[in-house]
Amino acid sequence: MSPRISVDLSSAVPPYEQIRGQISSLIAIGVLAAGSRLPTVRSLAADLGIAAGTVARAYKELEQAGLIESRRRNGTIVVGHPAEPGSTAAAPGAEVIAAVDGLIRTARAAGVSDETIIDLLRGRLASKLEG
Amino acid sequence: MSPRISVDLSSAVPPYEQIRGQISSLIAIGVLAAGSRLPTVRSLAADLGIAAGTVARAYKELEQAGLIESRRRNGTIVVGHPAEPGSTAAAPGAEVIAAVDGLIRTARAAGVSDETIIDLLRGRLASKLEG
DNA sequence: ATCAATGTACTAAGTATTTGATACAAAGAT
DNA sequence: ATCTTTGTATCAAATACTTAGTACATTGAT
């Protein structure tokens, strides 16, 4: 399976970050539902042609973020939303995806570049933490 | 004035990136309107306690992004939106800010972490470019 | 009890990035 | 014309990051 994960070695974003971000998005979207098994670090590393330690680092950060969970021999599985342990089938992020897409549409209509959208989001997130 | 720009040297984000992102956000929000004068690279560098070249790098990238413009002796000014050269007073990003804040609210209500919000936005932006 | 499969920890090396200093170029003021 | 102020370019050094390999720990199966 290893659904749609790929790395671009020529990118400025390091491979472990690409892997982490892609898996994070897939989980948030619901493509990787709670309980899904992620590929083993060795198999994913082999598929991507990189070292196992690189994949392991991505998994480690995802686990620290509470998105996945490692069972030693059983591999790595996706953790469900902390608040909703029962809901298995429903994609939890449909509303969030809609909000993201709406933001992209609004921003582009206003002539705001993609980079600036991210800058803005970062800035608002930071200020919402403080205030 | 140098409105509210600060750098956190202990952050993983390099100083020039912090400066670039903050100014980018301020422009998008409308705090720095078209025609506003940015502080000189030397004065801002002195305020922040860093080298002028670091600030210059941030300015350079902002100029390449089309957000600001350098006049040699006159300093650096904020460029207006490319599509709307006439509108001076109105903050062009009000709708965009609302969309950003809405996204943050929706995502947090769904239990999505701040990091994941950014990952999601990145992923959607990338896929919207391709498809 | 043993084995095999999985994630983890550690480390050394290479690579890339970032910074800060200096010197340079441009442009307006005097 | 000269000077001052501003941004720009260049470059070397330091710093940090990333990677890949190796060995280890854990856990379930046989």
Query: How far is the alpha carbon of B24 from chain A, nearest alpha carbon, in Å?
Result: 6
The pLDDT of residue A29 is 85
Written as six digits, the tokens of A49 are 């042609």
CA of A73 and C1' of D30: distance in angstroms? 15
- Judge if A99 and A57 occupy the same domain: no
Parallel, antiparallel, or unpaired for β B68-71 and B75-78? Answer: antiparallel
Please, which pLDDT band fits residue B131 given cuts at 50, 70 and 90?
Answer: low
Domain that holds residue A69: 15-78
Residue B88 lies in a domain: no
- In a domain? residue A89: no
Instruction: Report yes or no on A7 lying in a domain.
Output: no
Q: Once rounded to an integer, what is the mean pLDDT over residues A28-45?
A: 93
Do B125 and B100 have their domain in common? Answer: yes
Q: Residue A55 falls within a domain, yes or no?
A: yes
For residues B71 and B103, membership in a common domain is answered with no
Least confident of A33-37, A39-43, A55-59, A111-115: A111-115
Question: From CA A90, how far away is CA A100, in angstroms rounded?
Answer: 19
Q: Inter-chain contact A110–B96, Cβ cutoff 8 Å? A: yes
Query: What residues of A are in contact with residue B117 (Cβ under 8 Å)?
Result: 96, 100, 121, 125
Same structural domain for residues B70 and B118? no
* pLDDT (tens digit per residue) in A20-36: 999 999 998 889 999 99
Residues A19 and A74 in one domain: yes
- Looking at the structure, tell me whether residues A20 and A46 fall in a common domain: yes
> Which pLDDT value is given to residue B4?
79
**Residue B8 is encoded by which pair of tokens?**
């956190």
pLDDT value at position A88? Answer: 43
Domain at B53, CATH number: 1.10.10.10
Task: Give the Cα separation of A116 and B68 in Å (integer).
Answer: 13
Q: Is there a contact between B111 and A81 if contact means CB atoms under 8 Å apart?
A: yes
**Closest nucleotide to B52, Cα to C1':** C20
- Same domain for B24 and B70, yes or no, is yes
Q: Does one domain contain both A104 and A59?
A: no
Residue A51 located in a structural domain:
yes
Q: Which CA-bearing residue is nearest the C1' of C7?
A: A72
Q: State the Cα–Cα distance between residues A97 and B88, nearest whole angstrom.
A: 33
Three-state DSSP string of B38-101: ECCHHHHHHHHCCCHHHHHHHHHHHHHCCCEEEECCCEEEECCCCCCCCCCCCCCCHHHHHHHH
pLDDT digits (tens, 9 = 90+) for A59-79: 999 999 999 999 989 999 999
Cβ(A71)–Cβ(A32) below 8 Å: no
Q: Which of A24, A93, A120 sits opposite B25 (nearest CB)?
A: A120
- Whether residues B29 and B66 fall in one domain: yes
Residue B33 domain-assigned (yes or no): yes
Q: What tens digit of pLDDT does each residue of A94-121 get?
A: 899 999 999 999 999 988 888 889 999 9
- Tokens standing for A52? 């196992």
